[in-house]
Amino acid sequence: MLIQQGMDKNFCFPIPDALENSRPSKHAEALVQAFDENTWNYLSYGPFTSTEQFVEQFWEKGMRVNPATTSFTILDKTSPVNGEPAIAGLVSYINSSDQDACTEIGFVVILPKFQRTHVTSNMVGLLMHYALDLPEKGGLGLRRLQWVCNTKNAPSLKVAERMGFRFEGVLRWARVLPPSKAIGYKAAPERKGDPRSGKGGRDSAYSSCCWDDWEGGVRDWVDKVMTRTK
């Protein structure tokens, strides 16, 4: 599945494509080549040193086997390369529940070249539309869309705020992290006998945009934010 970014919204929503899902390596090589040392600071996955490692650990063992997850390649149509949309990053819907009509935007990776541009706002806006718009408007008609990030990840917190998500609170010690995730790492004196000795953790900040927020003005705000094209 793809998100194609550009001026023409008629062609900007996630597009199901069995071929893309069956050949993740088509975009994986370009993604891996563009990752830098800061790409995975706040994520549970990575870093990856090869396309094969990325496909096996992130896609095959992480995304593909999880029915609550759908991953997308972000393609920027405003910056074509050899006539094709530029690969700008990847993103997923995670922790999705059809029964509870909710999902989460997660595993957001914007390649360095596209950071601090229109890409993040447009990508998040498209996913918000697809999740929260009613089926009659081309969406899934979900009731809740959430954004969860490391409390130390200031850029992610700012994106959620800019896109109209409402901050809900902090879940302390929400995840276990290895020392290699130093920037997003929460260290504390270990308690004796901790079965995860040597590993720290993270606090997670929760924000959401629910259907009533969306209908109550957030949709119009997001459309305004998405007019940025540079």
Closest CA to 41 of 93, 113, 108: 108
Q: What is the pLDDT of residue 25?
A: 61
Q: Which two tokens stand for residue 51?
A: 């396309």
- Whole-number Å distance between alpha carbons of 66 and 52: 19
DSSP code of residue 186: B
Contact present, 156 and 108 (Cβ < 8 Å): yes
The β-bridge relationship of strands 84-97 and 102-110 is antiparallel
Q: What is the pLDDT of residue 21?
A: 44
DSSP code of residue 9: G
Q: What is the pLDDT of residue 64?
A: 79
Q: What is the pLDDT of residue 1?
A: 37
72 three-state secondary structure:
strand
Q: What is the pLDDT of residue 23?
A: 55
* pTM for this predicted structure: 0.86
Whole-angstrom Cα Rg for the chain? 18
Q: What is the pLDDT of residue 6?
A: 39
The values of phi and psi at residue 103, to 5°, are -155, 180
Q: Which two tokens stand for residue 92?
A: 């997923």
Cα–Cα separations (whole angstroms), residue 194 to 185, 189, 191, 197, 199:
17, 11, 6, 5, 10
Q: What is the pLDDT of residue 19?
A: 31
- Whole-number Å distance between alpha carbons of 44 and 118: 26
Q: What is the pLDDT of residue 172?
A: 94
Q: Residues 106-165: pLDDT tens digits?
A: 999 999 999 999 999 999 999 999 999 999 999 999 999 999 999 999 999 999 999 999
- Whole-number Å distance between alpha carbons of 98 and 90: 23
Dihedral sign for Cα 71, 74, 75, 77, please.
Answer: positive
Q: Which residues in the chain show pLDDT less than 70? A: 1-25, 229-230
2 three-state secondary structure:
strand
